[in-house]
């Protein structure tokens, strides 16, 4: 049985494109107010104009410590409370470890791991005080098995799986649900780093899913009765046969 999101206030990071934008549109459709957090101010301005008054822009650079730290306080200055935090922003590094750089590794861990932990750390006291809330994080199928062709990305997502499932247990006594959605390859800007031949083969074989499929999974998780927690939802292309 699903419950309504009318009156709920959601925060979505990485909301200007891809899964974040699809989730924004889905939650707005279900009646929520959505704060779109992204570093792309120009895109946010255009999107909030298109999506209407229940879409609120929040310009934040999660890789900037000061900007990241100000995310939750700045949002709570715009809205009365936060019911949902969807930590979706992330980046991708594929290929062998020797093919990347220390700078790229720092950037990936900063966005995929550190920013998520910081954002959750910032919102938890607010949700504990209200004795309710939902926290969802975009993980990946790469966080569930050793993807040897993308060890840096996979490592970041294994870290997030551990963090999310640990936090889920911590938050049970406080009425705060915590879970993750773990997609396979999604048609998004993140795949720009994929080798062109791999991307071509994936498209031709139907081994990619659209962001809207992930957004639907997130909506399902959020619309369960409070007595139900979806701890992880794995969403794969039917023809994805590498796991």
Long-range Cβ contacts of 114-121 (<8 Å, 24+ apart): 115/13, 115/62, 115/63, 115/68, 115/87, 115/89, 116/87, 116/160, 116/163, 117/163, 118/68, 118/69, 119/13, 119/62, 119/68, 119/71, 119/72, 119/85, 119/87, 120/85, 120/87, 120/163, 120/167
Q: Which of 86, 92, 148, 153 is catalytic?
A: 153
220 has catalytic annotation:
no
Name the nearest CA neighbour of 9 among 62, 75, 66, 60.
75
Write out the catalytic residue numbers. 153
């Amino acid at each position: 049985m699903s419950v309504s999101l009318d009156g709920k206030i959601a925060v979505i990071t990485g909301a200007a494109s891809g899964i974040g934008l699809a989730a924004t549109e889905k939650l707005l459709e279900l009646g929520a107010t959505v704060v779109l957090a992204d570093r792309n101010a120009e895109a946010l301005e255009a999107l909030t104009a298109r999506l209407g008054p229940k879409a609120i822009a929040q310009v934040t650079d999660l890789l900037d410590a000061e900007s990241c730290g100000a995310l939750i306080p700045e949002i709570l200055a715009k809205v009365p409370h936060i019911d949902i935090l969807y930590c979706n922003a992330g980046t991708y590094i594929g290929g062998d470890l020797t093919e990347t750089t220390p700078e790229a590794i720092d950037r990936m861990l900063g966005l995929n791991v550190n920013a998520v932990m910081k954002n959750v750390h910032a919102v938890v006291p607010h949700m504990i005080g209200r004795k309710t809330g939902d926290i969802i994080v975009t993980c990946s199928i790469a966080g569930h098995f050793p993807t040897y062709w993308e060890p840096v990305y996979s490592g970041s997502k294994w870290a997030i799986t551990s963090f999310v499932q640990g936090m889920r247990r911590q938050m049970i006594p406080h009425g705060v649900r915590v879970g993750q959605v773990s997609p396979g390859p999604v048609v998004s800007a993140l795949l720009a780093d994929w080798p062109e031949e791999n991307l071509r083969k994936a498209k031709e074989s139907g081994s990619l899913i659209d962001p809207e499929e992930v957004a639907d999974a997130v909506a399902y998780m959020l619309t369960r009765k409070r007595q139900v927690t979806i701890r992880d939802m794995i969403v794969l292309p039917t023809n994805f046969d590498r796991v």
